[in-house]
């Protein structure tokens, strides 16, 4: 082999290696971006679930207070309710 053929062969190998490295870097970068996006989406979903749980807890507390107020009404109010139920 002459020196030009060796030089050309080396250039091709170097080009192949650097191209492969660039592709790997791009794949890693895409993987990291996707991983970050997934983490953000997961956090968002967790926040939504927490918000829904808080809202449900507020609804339960509101219903409980409403029931308690009904039960703790004055005797007169209770007797009126009983009369209405009988009628």
Find, among 26, 22, 23, 44, the residue nearest to 34 by Cα. 26
Question: Of all helices (H) and strands (E), which one includes residue 7?
Answer: helix 3-71
How much is the pTM?
0.47
Residue 81 sits in which domain range? 3-86
Average model confidence (pLDDT) across the chain: 83
| Overall number of domains in the chain | 1
Question: Of all helices (H) and strands (E), which one includes residue 78?
Answer: helix 75-86
pLDDT digits (tens, 9 = 90+) for 16-57: 777 777 788 888 889 889 999 999 999 999 999 999 999 999
């Amino acid at each position: 082999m002459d020196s030009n053929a060796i030089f050309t062969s080396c250039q091709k190998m170097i080009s192949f290696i650097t191209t492969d490295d660039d592709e790997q870097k791009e794949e890693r970068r895409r993987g990291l971006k996707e991983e970050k996006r997934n983490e953000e989406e997961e956090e968002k979903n967790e926040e939504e679930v927490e918000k829904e749980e808080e809202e449900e807890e507020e609804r339960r507390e509101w219903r409980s207070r409403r029931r308690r107020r009904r039960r703790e009404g004055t005797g007169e109010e209770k007797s009126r309710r009983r009369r209405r139920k009988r009628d």
